[in-house]
Amino acid sequence: MKKAVISIFVLFFALLMGSAQAAGNAAKGKEKAGMCMGCHGAQGVSSNPLWPHLAGQSAGYIAKQLADFKSGIRKDPTMSAMAAGLSQADMENLGAYYSELKPAQGAASSEKLAQQGERMYRGGKAEMGISACMSCHGPSGKGIPPRFPSVSGQQAAYAEKQLLAFKTGSRSNDDEIMTRIAFRMSEAEIKAIAEYMAGLH
């Protein structure tokens, strides 16, 4: 009995500390973000179509990506170099900082492609075994923190590059969720859905 009570307390404190660590400190994150602004923008909204917006992204997702770049599970020469010097606390602080910034308001550059993309985003494609993107990324693309990232207003060229990377397996840090989905999508479907997500809010 005594043992059970003690282990409940231990579990309670472990959970408490875990959540305090996972929360991150946005003010400390802001101090570190100076070295990120050149590419991800002063407010987490980037101007280069291949550099993702970070503003409003889930804190847990950002911290995970930074850890994945550092460990090498997710490969990108620029970001691996950037993440190499970050501690686990830095990653959580940066995640907290960027998650609180105002998300970008993008727009699809082609209405026709966006309409095609919307069909799959909302309904999936049953005959190909593709689940609706909405079920994990949310009806307005805001994601479900901490695991499922926001895709709302993201740069279309960046999103397209990621989906192609999941399709070919060159990005494989996703526990096989996205690689399995993107493998079944055509390049045209990927392009259309990336346009749709850019204008989704």
Question: Which residue, 112 or 147, is less far from ligand HEC as judged by CB?
Answer: 147
Contact (CB, 8 A) for 154 and 121: no
Regarding 135 and contact with ligand HEC (CB under 6 A), the answer is yes
Token pair listed for 66:
């930074």
Contact (CB, 8 A) for 23 and 109: no
The answer to whether the Cα torsion of 58, 103, 66, 37 is positive or negative is negative
Question: Which residue, 18 or 123, is less far from ligand HEC as judged by CB?
Answer: 123
Window contacting ligand HEC (CB under 6 A); options: 3-11, 17-25, 49-57, 108-116:
49-57
Token pair listed for 168:
């070919």
Question: Which residue, 11 or 35, is less far from ligand HEC as judged by CB?
Answer: 35
Regarding 170 and contact with ligand HEC (CB under 6 A), the answer is no
Q: How far is the CB of 162 from ligand HEC (least distance, A)?
A: 4
Regarding 133 and contact with ligand HEC (CB under 6 A), the answer is yes
Report in angstroms the alpha-carbon separations of 104 from 21, 71, 107, 148, 169: 27, 29, 10, 18, 28
Q: How far is the CB of 7 from ligand HEC (least distance, A)?
A: 32
Q: How far is the CB of 15 from ligand HEC (least distance, A)?
A: 23
Hey, which residues between 70 and 109 contact ligand HEC (CB under 6 A)? 76, 78-79, 82, 94
- DSSP symbols for 113-124: HHHHHHHHHHH-
Hey, which residues between 7 and 46 contact ligand HEC (CB under 6 A)? 35-36, 38-40
Window contacting ligand HEC (CB under 6 A); options: 9-17, 63-71, 99-107, 108-116:
63-71
d(CA 18, CA 8): 15
User: Contact positions toward ligand HEC, by CB under 6 A?
Assistant: 35-36, 38-40, 50-52, 54, 62, 64-66, 76, 78-79, 82, 94, 120, 130-131, 133, 135-137, 147-149, 151, 159, 161-163, 173-174, 177-178, 181, 193
